[in-house]
Amino acid sequence: MAIRKIVKYGDPILRQKLKHTDYEALREELPQLIKDMEETCLSVHGVGLAANQIGLDYRLAVILIPESDKKNASLKRIVIINPEFEDKQGELVEEEGCLSLPGLWVEIPRATDVTVRFVDENGQPRRVRARGLLAKAFQHEIDHLDGKLFIDYADPVLKTAIKKEIKKLRPTWN
Ligand code: NI
C-alpha cells in the first residue's frame, strides 16, 4: 500500500470533468488503487477522496464514513465508479471542507437526501439512498468527478473572503 500525494487547489485536474471509467480495463489495478486511495484518505482524516485528487482521470471515488454505536466504532466504505444522481431532496446549509483545500471550511447548501446509482469495486451496479453525512459525501465526491469544488456553492460575498483565505493558506499546503 502507498499513501499518494493529494493534489491541491489550483491544479487544473481538479477542474476537469473526468472520463467515464471502463471497469473491465481497470479491473486489474483497481484493488491496489482503492487501497491506496483509502489509506491516503484516512491518513489525513478525510471522509472521501476522488481520483483526480491523486491526479488520475477516472470517474472513481472512495467514501469512508465513521460509524459508531455504543459497542463499536467502524467505517462505512463505499467505492463509487461512474456515479449518477437519480434523486436529490431537501436543503441544508452546513460547513464543509476538502482535502484539496486543507484548513478551509465554508458553509454551503447541500441536498439532505439523495439516491445515487453507481458501479461498485466488484463491478456490480448499485443504487443507494443516503442522508446525513453520507448524502453530503456523495455530493462532494461526485462534484469532484465533474470538476466542481465545494467553494463554487458559496455566495458572492463569501467568495471574496474565500479567495483571501486561500492566499493565506496556500503556503501551508504541500
Ligand atoms: Ni474534496
Between the CA of 71 and the centroid of ligand 1 the distance, in Å, is 30
Q: What is the pTM of this model?
A: 0.95
Q: pLDDT band at 132, cuts 50/70/90? A: very high
Between the CA of 110 and the centroid of ligand 1 the distance, in Å, is 14
Q: Of 169, 160, 137, 165, whose CA–CA distance to 50 is shortest? A: 137
Pairing state of beta strands 48-50 and 106-110?
Answer: unpaired
Query: Which grid cell sits at 54?
Result: 491523486
pLDDT of residue 66: 87
Between the CA of 17 and the centroid of ligand 1 the distance, in Å, is 14
What is the CATH number that goes with domain 12-172? 3.90.45.10
Q: Where are the domains of the chain?
A: 12-172
Q: What is the pLDDT of residues 36-81, one digit of tens each?
A: 999 999 999 999 999 999 999 999 999 999 888 778 888 899 999 9
Cβ atoms within 10 Å, residue 115 = 16
Q: What is the mean pLDDT of residues 21-43?
A: 96
DSSP-derived 3-state class of residue 8: coil
